[in-house]
Amino acid sequence: MVSLSPLVDAHGREVRYLRLSVTDRCNLRCRYCMPESGVEPLAHDDILRLEEVLSLCESFTALGICKFKITGGEPLVRWNAVSFIKKLKAMPGVEQVTITTNGLELAQALPDFQQCHLDGINLSLDTLDAETFRQLTRRDGLDKALQALDLAAASNIPLKINCVPIQGVNDQELPRIAELAREKVQAVRFIELMPIGLAAQYQGIPADRIREQLAAVFGPLREDNGKIGNGPAHYYAIEGFKGKIGFIDALSHCFCQQCNRLRLTADGTLKLCLAHDNGVDLKTPLRAGASKEELQTIISEAVLNKPAHHAFSEHPEETEGKGMYRIGG
> Is the pTM for the entire model greater than 0.85?
yes
C-alpha to C-alpha distance for 222 and 226, rounded to whole angstroms: 12
- What confidence score (pLDDT) does residue 322 get? 52
DSSP for 178-236? HTHHHHT-SEEEEEPPP--GGGGGS-B--HHHHHHHHHHHH-PEEEE----SSS--EEE
- How far is residue 171's CA from residue 81's CA, in Å, rounded to a whole number? 34
Residue 37 φ/ψ, nearest 5 degrees: -80, 0
Report pLDDT digits (tens) over 144-185: 999 999 999 999 999 999 999 999 999 999 999 999 999 999
**What CATH number matches the domain at 7-327, 3.40.50.10240, 3.20.20.70, 3.40.50.300, 3.40.630.40?**
3.20.20.70
Q: At residue 321, does pLDDT exceed 60?
A: no
What CA–CA distance (Å, rounded) separates 156 from 118? 9
Contact criterion met (CB below 8 Å) for 16 and 62: no
Residue 122 has pLDDT above 90, yes or no: yes
pLDDT at residue 194 in the model? 84
pLDDT tens for each residue of 254-286: 667 778 889 999 999 999 997 777 799 999 999
What b/e readout covers 172-185, taking b as 16+ CB neighbours within 10 angstroms?
ebbeebbbbbeebb
Instruction: Report the 10 Å Cβ neighbour count for 103.
Output: 23
Please say if the pLDDT value at position 317 is more than 80: no
Worst-scoring range by mean pLDDT, 3-12, 144-153, 208-217?
A: 3-12
Confidence of residue 4 (pLDDT cuts 50, 70, 90): very low
- The residues, ordered by sequence, that sit 6+ positions from 64 with a Cβ below 8 Å of its Cβ are 3, 5, 6, 7, 15, 16
Which residues does 82 contact at the CB level (< 8 Å), separation at least 6?
Answer: 76, 109, 112, 113
Rounded average pLDDT over 134-150: 97
Residue 289 clears pLDDT 70, i.e. is over it:
yes
Q: Can you tell me the distance from the alpha carbon of 313 to that of 329, in angstroms, rounded to the nearest whole number?
A: 21
User: Is the pLDDT confidence value at 66 over 70?
Assistant: yes
**What is the model's pLDDT at position 320?**
47
**How are the residues of the chain apportioned to helix, strand and coil, as percentages rounded to the nearest 5?**
35, 20, 45
Domain boundaries, the chain: 7-327
CA 254 to chain centre: 17
Residue 231: per-residue pLDDT: 79
Euclidean distance between CA atoms 84 and 53, whole angstroms: 9
The answer to whether the CB of 163 falls within 8 A of the CB of 188 is yes
Rounded alpha-carbon distances, angstroms, from residue 31 to 101, 168, 194: 17, 13, 13
Look at residue 311 in the predicted model and tell me its pLDDT: 57
What is residue 284's predicted lDDT score, i.e. its pLDDT? 98
DSSP per-residue codes, 269-297: EEES-TTBS--EE-HHHHHTT--HHHHHH
More confident residue, 231 or 4: 231
Q: List phi, psi (to 5°) of 276.
A: -95, 140
Residue 303 has pLDDT above 90, yes or no: yes
Determine the Cα–Cα distance for residues 68 and 102; give it in Å rounded to an integer.
Answer: 18
- What's the mean pLDDT when you consider all of the chain? 91
Percent of the chain at pLDDT exceeding 90? 76
